[in-house]
Chain A
Amino acid sequence: MKWGVVSFPGSLDDADALYALREVMGQDATRLWHKDERLMGAQCIILPGGFSYGDYLRCGAIARFSPIMKSIARFAADGGLVIGTCNGFQILCEARLLPGVLVRNRSLSFICDRVIVRVENARTPFTCATRAGDLLRLPIKHGEGRYVAPEDEIRQIEERGQVLLRYVDASGAETDEANPNGSMHAIAGIANERFNVFGLMPHPEHAVEKMLVGGDDGLKLFHSVIESVR
């Protein structure tokens, strides 16, 4: 299938996402430039991690006004698949394509680590190759990853099954210790109401090769998308 990976000034994981898609998974993936409006026929668009525009002012606040974001908003409104990882998640929240917002980690410092997330809803294009309750080991690396939203909004998000990934410990239990950044309801990844836009703080693109520190659990999320499109 055809993927598009957006490069903003300050994007970092764009090259890694392209490498994962092309070299590891043999997919057709194109780099989309922030100043362009063309999506080059991509069936799924990835907003990568990094520090778009230096993350100055607020993470993702400046990137959301890029020309490419207009096209992506239209693409999403038409039901196109969009994934935002880390900074991409922040941009999707700033652009109101996803509910809530990501703020400074509880520890007030950047955290790079490997965490475990539990799949909460496997009936989405992003998780259909997994089963609810599956545990994935994925890397995180962010300073602003604490998911917050008004309580009533969170309740609706939960009721509609929009929480796709939650931080848990090795036994699959939700504990305060296993929540690396203090996210509300230990939310690691959420989808929009239509389940075609997905934002997550962990980095599946850094978890596609067993040899590397990130492991290869991220493949399951990519395979989900490939399966859902097929």
Chain B
Amino acid sequence: MLVKVFVTPREGILDPQGRATEGALRSLGFGGVNSVRVGRYIVLDIDAPTKAAAEEAAKKMCEQLLANPLIEDYRFEVEGA
């Protein structure tokens, strides 16, 4: 099963990368950029009997390793169930 994980800086946490990228986009003349947050996109191919099991496994992986809940939020999508 394919699990797509999106990790982003938690709301309210300083995101230096996002801020620098935002500034660069503006200086290149891209108007209308209100804010930029830079995160990570992780694709997992995992074995799981059901979609629910895959979701449960993905949640554990996110909490323990893929995201640091102190500073990052995560969400994921399970495909191919």
Contacts and interface: CB of A to CB of B under 8 A. Distances in A.
Contacts of A57: 17, 20-21, 24, 38
Contacts of A65: 24, 27-28
A54 B17 contact: yes
B20 A56 contact: yes
B69 interface: no
Interface residues on A, range: under 10
B37 to A, nearest CB: 12
Interface string B14-43: 001100110010011000000000100000
A65 B27 CA distance: 9
Interface string A25-65: 00000000000000000000000000001101100001001
B16 A54 contact: yes
Interface centre among B20, B27, B28 (most CB of A within 10 A): B20
Interface residues of B, number: 8
Interface centre among B16, B21, B24 (most CB of A within 10 A): B24
A53 B20 CA distance: 7
A61 B59 CA distance: 33
A65 B16 CA distance: 19
B20 A54 contact: yes
Contact of A56 (B16, B27, B28): B16
B81 to A, nearest CB: 33
Nearest to A52: B20
Contacts of B21: 56-57, 62
Nearest to A66: B27
A62 B24 contact: yes
Contacts of B17: 54, 56-57
A101 to B, nearest CB: 18
A53 B23 CA distance: 10
A50 B9 CA distance: 25
A54 B17 CA distance: 8
Nearest to B21: A57
Nearest to A65: B28
Interface centre among A53, A54, A56, A65 (most CB of B within 10 A): A56
Interface of B: 16-17, 20-21, 24, 27-28, 38
19 contacts: A53-B20, A53-B24, A54-B16, A54-B17, A54-B20, A56-B16, A56-B17, A56-B21, A56-B38, A57-B20, A57-B21, A57-B24, A57-B38, A62-B20, A62-B21, A62-B24, A65-B24, A65-B27, A65-B28
Interface of A: 53-54, 56-57, 62, 65
Given A54-B16, A57-B17, 14 more contacts: A53-B20, A54-B17, A56-B16, A56-B17, A56-B38, A57-B20, A57-B21, A57-B24, A57-B38, A62-B20, A62-B21, A62-B24, A65-B24, A65-B27
